[in-house]
Structure 1
């Protein structure tokens, strides 16, 4: 790892403080679990320092190296893979029982190995046999989970192909500090001000009592998304099962809702490439009828899109619809980050797979009740971007009125 400048070191400390105090809202004596790769370990240690400074009972760093995972997935026997995944699942359950909070440090990498179709099927079956059949429990936020981007040289050179080494690395950190509001003298205050604006827009959307959204743009998207019963708009902040406020994504610019799993019709075209498991899916379109993808095509990665849609029945339906305005700090960068955590906060997006229980206002949080309200359930949740500068979003309100709530990518609330 190259030597960091004094200015970057100072800002990294501020960023780590934001993640710990706002991201997971760490409480005194609480266990903090930080998941990182070998390339982001340097920042994991800074987060650990911020955690202890905030009163953590302990900080544990979990190293999940993509290269090592790739080798294991290629060469390990089925029995060895089962043991590994079961051990991971058991450890996660122990952390949850300890009421830990979780930070995941994100940095895309090309350090993977292409697998044969047979090997991919084997891994898929193993994961399905161990994981719960839905992400509903995780999305219910029994514990506080948070994810944030971390610069690496490899990622920086991909985002800024005309720069190299230290210059690219410094540029990516400068960008991350900007989009997470950590490029000021008081990053916490800047973040809180940003969130206040986001929450104000969320309150305005909830006050409208929207029943259906219609998206139209020049790419050819003409999509009608009816919202789930008892829907409420979500975004910015979240609350765990004990009512503790936290921020699961830093950066965040989205305000999202739960589509009704049976009531989505029309066609949607992606506007930004989707990178999934290091594979690119681009130039794709999905056609919906009765809430389900009935046909699809892609210029790049059609095979991977087909595999995604075949994950389970819920993978062909929507779990999220999100609004992001074109004036956000991420949108203004006009960069492809090759990482959904950042790219999804550039523009409007939807997600195939599981929905968020928090979007449904109901005291009955059982899966069957949430399903009856229209909340989708699946083993996956994959966001892809379809917003454009010319996007027009029309809302059909409960009182029968229509209102354009986004015109050319900007809020009209």
Structure 2
């Protein structure tokens, strides 16, 4: 299969199975300039699917680095009313949102001030996230192959090898990738239903360097296999996705995690991360490389120190099957169990979408301008759940056994 053929299949999958573009719908694509060829293919696929209009918002790493180095923290985090108005208009129109992510240069922000690097326009982040999480905009995030990503994985910009790995992970190697994702989604949905029926109060992650107990809020509901918007249209917020997940009680997390895969935060590579939780909050952060980036991030708001997601992934995953560390959170989080600090998912509690922010906080859902996933699973990982029926193994030695 040629590179262009793969790009077209990739774009078609994102449009059809990812955001599931409908006739006449507006589409917004966020992309780095390094993903220009893929962005063009996504736009073409969206129009083939009947999109009414497509807008691409390009970002560029070196331009972002200039801002981090030269702008003040206040300027980097200042509110922009016109940007908020645009998000409101997208939300009212039910626009589909596609994000092409992936760091073309993982060392671009080496040496940058961690505080400036962590600065965010939190009102814009929240407005966009609120629109997505409320179900007003279907969205899909997908990592776009690029030479810098290939070099980070393989030590050389081998795009053929990267596309082969991405094809495995995204099921592009099948006759009908969208149909394959429907089948996988059904499996993940069934697993979420199993967990809902247990009415769990807490989950415990046990692995090398990890022993973490996380409490769940009352009426917690698990999600797997995608979401459905207000009109009943299904979509996949992340491609690929191999997880079932929910949001924990922000006040109930005790223990330590060891992150098992490298991660990139704000353009900085983090290795050997270890985090300790006490009384629901991040208490200590240590790492072989990049600890200051995490410490700066969790100081951006109070919610950044609390968990917003717990997720279950076993070895029966196309990401794990690919057999490599992708150095991309969107992929690597689907190779093993993970947790995330920061923003919760409001639909994770029965009736949560209709709750006010105050009501969500009262039941234990977290609110933050960040949402950072970290992988803690892999070989040897065991996850146990405790509920009214007692304690059961959900995953044992990285295999789903429930």
Question: TM above 0.5, one fold?
Answer: yes
Match of 2:102 in 1: 107
C-alpha distance in structure 1 between counterparts of 2:183 and 2:342, whole Å: 32
Task: Deviation per CA, 1:104-150: give whole Å up to 9, x if none.
Answer: 11221227345654xx6467566246654995554333211111121
C-alpha distance in structure 1 between counterparts of 2:213 and 2:364, whole Å: 15
Match of 1:13 in 2: 8
Q: Which secondary structure does the structure 1 equivalent of 2:67 belong to?
A: helix
- Structure 1's unaligned 5+ residue stretches are 1-5
C-alpha change, 1:56 and 1:237, in structure 2 (3 Å) is same
Residue from 202, 209, 221 that aligns with 1:220: 209
Q: Which secondary structure does the structure 1 equivalent of 2:303 belong to?
A: helix
Match of 1:160 in 2: 154
C-alpha distance in structure 1 between counterparts of 2:57 and 2:391, whole Å: 49
* Matched-pair contact (CA < 8 Å) for 1:108–1:338: no
Match of 1:174 in 2: 164
Match of 2:143 in 1: 149
C-alpha distance in structure 2 between counterparts of 1:84 and 1:211, whole Å: 39
* Matched-pair contact (CA < 8 Å) for 1:226–1:259: yes
Match of 1:50 in 2: 45
* Matched-pair contact (CA < 8 Å) for 1:136–1:377: no
* TM-score (structure 2 length as normaliser): 0.92
* Matched-pair contact (CA < 8 Å) for 2:228–2:235: yes
Identify which range, 321-330 or 273-282, moves more after superposition: 273-282
Identify which range, 95-104 or 35-44, moves more after superposition: 95-104
Identify which range, 247-256 or 107-116, moves more after superposition: 107-116
- Give the alignment of 1:225-374 within 5 angstroms: 225-362=214-351, 364-374=354-364
Per-residue deviation at 1:278? 2.1
* Matched-pair contact (CA < 8 Å) for 2:118–2:296: no
Match of 2:382 in 1: 392
C-alpha distance in structure 2 between counterparts of 1:224 and 1:80, whole Å: 39
C-alpha distance in structure 2 between counterparts of 1:204 and 1:44, whole Å: 38
C-alpha distance in structure 2 between counterparts of 1:150 and 1:134, whole Å: 21
The answer on 1:204 being equivalent to 2:194 is yes
Residue from 41, 61, 66 that aligns with 1:66: 61
Per-residue deviation at 1:301? 1.6
Q: Which secondary structure does the structure 1 equivalent of 2:324 belong to?
A: coil
Q: Which secondary structure does the structure 2 equivalent of 1:311 belong to?
A: coil
Task: Deviation per CA, 1:35-68: give whole Å up to 9, x if none.
Answer: 1122111011111111111111011121111222
C-alpha distance in structure 1 between counterparts of 2:77 and 2:211, whole Å: 44
C-alpha distance in structure 2 between counterparts of 1:149 and 1:50, whole Å: 17
Per-residue deviation at 1:74? 2.6
C-alpha change, 1:258 and 1:134, in structure 2 (3 Å) is farther
Match of 2:176 in 1: 186
C-alpha distance in structure 2 between counterparts of 1:114 and 1:327, whole Å: 35
C-alpha distance in structure 2 between counterparts of 1:56 and 1:126, whole Å: 31
Match of 1:140 in 2: 134
Match of 1:3 in 2: none
C-alpha distance in structure 2 between counterparts of 1:121 and 1:268, whole Å: 24
- Give the alignment of 1:83-94 within 5 angstroms: 87-94=82-89
